[in-house]
Amino acid sequence: MDERITDTQPLKEANNDKIRSLRAAIDAKLHEQGIYEQIRDLVNSKIKVTSTDDDKQPNSEKDPVDEDASRSREDQLIHDVLESEVVQQLLATVRSMELTPPEKSTNHEDTNDDIVELENEREVFLYLRLSGGKAFVDQLVELEQDNKSADQEDVGLDEKRCPVGSVLTFFRVNVSFQRQRQASRDIRCCVDPPFDEHFRFRVEKKRTRTARTRGGASYAVDVLSPWEALCLVEEPVQLTLVKVTKKLLSRDSNGSAQWRELSCELLAVHRLDWRRVLCSTLQLVHFPIQLTGRMKEPVGSLDIRADLLNCKRTTSIAHEARTFLNKESIQRNASNHSFYKYAKQWWDEYRSETRQDKRQSSKHSNGEDEYSQLLAQIGSRQRLVKMFAEDEEGRYRMICKFVTPLRAPMAVRSPSEAARFVGLLPYESNSLVGGGSDETWRSIATVLSVRKGDAQDHAILLASLLLGCGLDAYVCIGTISATEIGHVWVLTRGSSSTDVLLWEAVTGEKFAVNDPQAPRRRGYCAIDCVFNHRRFFANLQPRTWKLAESSFDFDDETCWKRMDENLIADLPFGQPSTALLPPDVTSACTLEQEWTAILKRAISSRRRAEGLVTRWSEELSFYLLPALNSYELERLYGVTQVDNNFFQQSVTNFVQEGHTFQGVPSMFTVESPDEALSVMMSNLLVTDILTLHARSAQFALAVRCFPYAEHTVATWVMLAVSYPSTN
C-alpha cells in the first residue's frame, strides 16, 4: 500500500506542475494581448445597455418577476461575453496550448529539425464552427402563410410542442471534405436560424508536388514545409444547405419524437477555401458566407469560424501562404484562359470537319423501318457537343471536371450494384420558373445530399462509380428520341472497341450496342460526345448511322475528335472524391416487419369498411418471398427466374384443387407504406384483389427490403390471394 502511494506522488506532482505552468501561460497570454482590458470594456458596454433599459422602466418595489428578469439579464450578459470574438479567440488559444513544456536542447539546429519533423508527422485537423445564420428572408413569407393556415395555437420554433401529424420544414447543412461527410442538426426554418455546430475534419496533407522541366515533362518534388503541404490540398470544403420537410409520426413518454422525411430541397451550395486560415495568425478565422440560390438570388448568410489544429501559424507562414495562394490564383486564371482559347480553336476545327455530314449520311438513310426514319429525322439537327457546364455556384467548368473515379468498397462492391443504386435514386427534372430547363450540373456531394437528380446527375454518379470499379466508362451526350432535345447516359468499353455497353443511369438498365434490338427498344438514336475525368471525344460519324454501325474506337481520328488530355488535366476545380454510406443491413428486418404490419392493417380496414372479411395466411405469405428475391436479382444482375420453379412448386402445393391463385408484385423506393398502398391502388389487378368477395379466400402479403448505399432501399411488395374458382 505504501509503495502504491509512493509511486503516485511523482505523477501528482508532475500534473500539478503542468497545471501551474498552464495557468501561468494563460495569465501571460491575457496580459500580453490585452484581453483583460477588452473583456472589461465589453462587460461595461453590455452593463450600460442593460442599465439604460432599466432606467426607462418605472420605479416599483422588487418582486419575484423583477428578480427573474434580472437573473435572465445576467445570464444573457454571460452568454454574450462567452460568445464574443475576444473570448472565442482566447479559448482557441488555450485549446492549442501544450501541457508538456518542450525539453531544452543545447543544439539549436537539431531542435529546429526535430520541430519541423514533428509538425510533418502530426495529424492536422480542420475545425469549423457554424454559429448561426442570418437574413433568410424567404422564410418570412412561408411563416406568414403557415400562421394563416394554422388552426391551432402558434407553437413558434419549438418542434417539441407540435402535435403528432404535423408537417414542418427544417434547415440542414451538409459539410463534405476529403471523403469525410458530416451534417448539422435539423433547425426549424426561420429568418435567423440558430445553428450551433462544430465540425472536425482530418486533413490529408500532400507529401509531393508536381514540377515541370523546361521541356514540359513533369516530375515529383518532396514537400518539406508543413504549411506548403497544406496549401497543396486544393479541395475546398463544400457546404450544402437543404430544406427538409418532415412529418411527426409519434412521440413517446420521454419526449423523443419519430420523424419521417418527406422531401429534401436544395437551397444553396458554397465551396470554402479553408486554406485562407493559413493566411491569418488569429486562432479562429471568421468566414461570413453569403449563399445564392438557383436563380442567383441571395438566400441568406452563414457564420463560419475556422481553425487548424496541430498547425503552427506565424506571421512569416501567413505571408508565405498568402503569396502561395495568390500565385496559384494567377496560374488558375492563366490555365482557364489558355484552355478557353484552345477550346474555341478546337470547336472551329470540329465544325469544319462535320460539314460533310449531310452528304455522307444520304447513303445510310435509305432504310424503310421506323428506326431508320427516326435517324434520318434527327440527322439534320445540330450536334449536342457540350464542353462547359455551370455548377451550383454559377462557375462554368469543363465537364470532365465533374467526373472522378469513386471507390467505395463498403457501399458499392460491383458495377451492377452501382447501377442498381444509382437507378434507385429518384429522378428530378430541374426546371426553372417559366418552364425553362435548369442547365446547372451538380457535384456528387450535392446529389448525395438531396438523394435525387436529373439525368446528367445520375450519369455522372454512375460513371464515377464504374470508373472506381476499374471499367473504361464514359458519360454520353446525345439523343434518345425524335422529340427530346438531348439526354445523358453512360457507355463502357470492354477488351475491344466492339464490346460496348450502354447504361441508362436513371433506371440502372444496360444494353449491348451490337444487339440491334436494344438501342431501338430504349430509343437511343445518336451519341454526339463522350467524356470521363481525363478524356473528351466528339463524334465525327454521321448522325444517321445506327449505333450498331458506328465505331467506338476513340483513337480513330476519322471517327472521333479528341481534346488535349494534358490541358484538361491542368484545369482547376476538379471533382473531389466523396465517401458513400454503406447499406444499412441491420434495419432491413425491422423495416419489413413495419411495412407488413401497416399494410395488413390498412388493407383489412379498407375491406372491413366495405363489409368484407380478410383472412391472412402466414404460410402463403412465406411462400411468396422467393419470388421477391428473384425479382430483385433480375433488376440487379439481369438473371431471370432464379428459384422460380421452387416458388411455383410451393404455391401449387398450397393452393387447393378448384382454387385460383392471383398475385401482384410491386417495387417502391418510398419510405411510407401508406404512400406505397395508394400507388398499389392505382393498379387494377390490386383493386380486384382488394374488392374480392369469396368464401374461404386466403390473402397473403410478402415484403422484402433490399438495402443499398446512402440509405437507399428497394422494397418489394407482393399481394396475393387464393380463392375458390367459379364456373
Bridge partner residues of 659 (DSSP)? 724
Residue ranges per structural domain of the chain: 1-56+66-101, 123-313, 333-570, 588-724
pLDDT value of position 610: 92
Residue 154 φ then ψ, to 5°: -65, 120
Measured between alpha carbons, how far is 99 from 150 in angstroms, rounded to an integer?
57
Out of 3.40.47.10, 3.30.390.30, 3.40.33.10, 3.40.50.300, the CATH code matching 588-724 is 3.40.33.10
* Cα torsion angle, 363, 364, 370, 374, sign: negative
What is the model's pTM?
0.81
Beta strand pairing call for 509-512 and 560-562:
unpaired
- Which residue, among 180, 171, 393, has the nearest Cα to 271 in the 3D structure? 393
Measured between alpha carbons, how far is 287 from 271 in angstroms, rounded to an integer?
12
Give 194-198's long-range contacts (Cβ < 8 A, gap of 24+): 194/132, 195/130, 195/131, 195/132, 195/133, 195/171, 195/302, 195/303, 196/130, 196/131, 196/132, 197/129, 197/130, 197/173, 198/127, 198/128, 198/129, 198/130
pLDDT value of position 42: 75
Would you say 682 and 658 are in contact if contact means Cβ atoms under 8 Å apart? no
Would you say 208 and 225 are in contact if contact means Cβ atoms under 8 Å apart? no
Q: Which CATH class is domain 123-313?
A: mainly beta
Would you say 628 and 716 are in contact if contact means Cβ atoms under 8 Å apart? yes
Would you say 388 and 398 are in contact if contact means Cβ atoms under 8 Å apart? yes
| Alpha helix segments (H runs only) across 186-314 | 226-231
| Average pLDDT per 10 consecutive residues for the chain, totaling 727 residues | 48 62 66 66 72 53 56 71 70 57 45 52 90 87 60 53 88 96 94 94 86 68 84 94 92 83 93 95 92 89 94 91 94 94 95 68 50 51 87 93 95 96 91 63 95 95 97 93 78 88 93 74 83 96 85 93 94 92 93 95 94 94 95 90 86 90 94 92 94 91 96 96 83
CA atoms within 13 A on the CB side of 430: 20
Q: Read out DSSP for 674-689? A: HHHHHHHHTSHHHHHH
**Eight-state DSSP code of residue 671:** S
Measured between alpha carbons, how far is 169 from 147 in angstroms, rounded to an integer?
14
Measured between alpha carbons, how far is 57 from 50 in angstroms, rounded to an integer?
11
- List, in order, residues 6 or more apart from 601 with CB less than 8 Å away: none
Measured between alpha carbons, how far is 643 from 417 in angstroms, rounded to an integer?
21
- Which residue, among 627, 424, 626, 583, has the nearest Cα to 506 in the 3D structure? 424
Q: Exposed, middle or buried: residue 20 (CB in 10 Å: 0-12, 13-18, 19+)?
A: exposed
CA distances in angstroms from 176 to 123, 159, 412, 465, 578, listed in the order given = 19, 27, 19, 18, 8
Would you say 469 and 419 are in contact if contact means Cβ atoms under 8 Å apart? no
Would you say 171 and 186 are in contact if contact means Cβ atoms under 8 Å apart? yes
| Alpha helix segments (H runs only) across 261-356 | 315-353
CA distances in angstroms from 444 to 180, 460, 464, 506, listed in the order given = 13, 8, 9, 15
Residue type, position 620, single letter: L
Neighbour order of strands in the sheet with 713-724: 659-668, 713-724, 698-707
- The string over 92-115, giving b where at least 16 C-beta atoms fall within 10 Å of a residue's C-beta and e elsewhere, is bbeeeeeeeeeeeeeeeeeeeeee
